[in-house]
Amino acid sequence: MEIGLIISLGIVIFSIFYIVMLYNGLVSLKHSVSKHLANIDVLLKQRHDELPKLIETCKQYMKHEQETLTKVIAARQQVSVAQSNHDMVALGQAETGMRAAMGQLFALAENYPDLKADSSFTALQERISALENAIADRREVYNEAVNNNNVRIEQFPDVIIARWFRFKAFDLLKFKKEELRDVNVKSLFD
């Protein structure tokens, strides 16, 4: 009888330990997603802060391109709203619009040799391009963390703990298909 009690107690202790390990693993994944989103937020904020400087520099040269500058400003605002709401679907759409507007702005800058030669414009263009690359890299890491979280909360036995403690799936940060295609710079000048 004593050996049966020890085995039963061992099974209960092992079960509790196993449940705690599963729970802690899910908590770790959830916080990993939040951490990676925070990393993206930092880069988006940096880019958000650089864009007004770029627009002001461009305004000095591009008197006839107000529509393009307005598109960049509007796209910046949409990204900011989606970012503050942590709405990954809206953020993906806003990012697509922002990248299109920025691409158009940089393409139009080719028509303004004085602007292209301006050291402020060149520095801002390089800084924003570097931020764009970093955002793309962080988006990939974020999406991997989201995928790991979403898979784990659907796998057995994790799904039991996930449902019991109401762990949720996260949305991937996706850009539209247009974002993935090459830009036809010639069409921007037509």
**Domains held by the chain: number:** 1
Chain segment 23-51, per-residue pLDDT in tens: 999 999 999 999 999 999 899 899 888 88
Domain of 34: which CATH number? 1.20.1440.20
Report the range of poorest mean pLDDT among 91-100, 148-157, 174-183. 174-183
Question: Nearest to residue 131, comparing CAs of 29, 59, 46, 4?
Answer: 46
Q: In terms of residue numbers, what domain contains 147?
A: 2-188
Q: What whole-number distance in Å separates Cα of residue 159 and Cα of residue 152? A: 7
Mean pLDDT of all residues in 130-144: 91
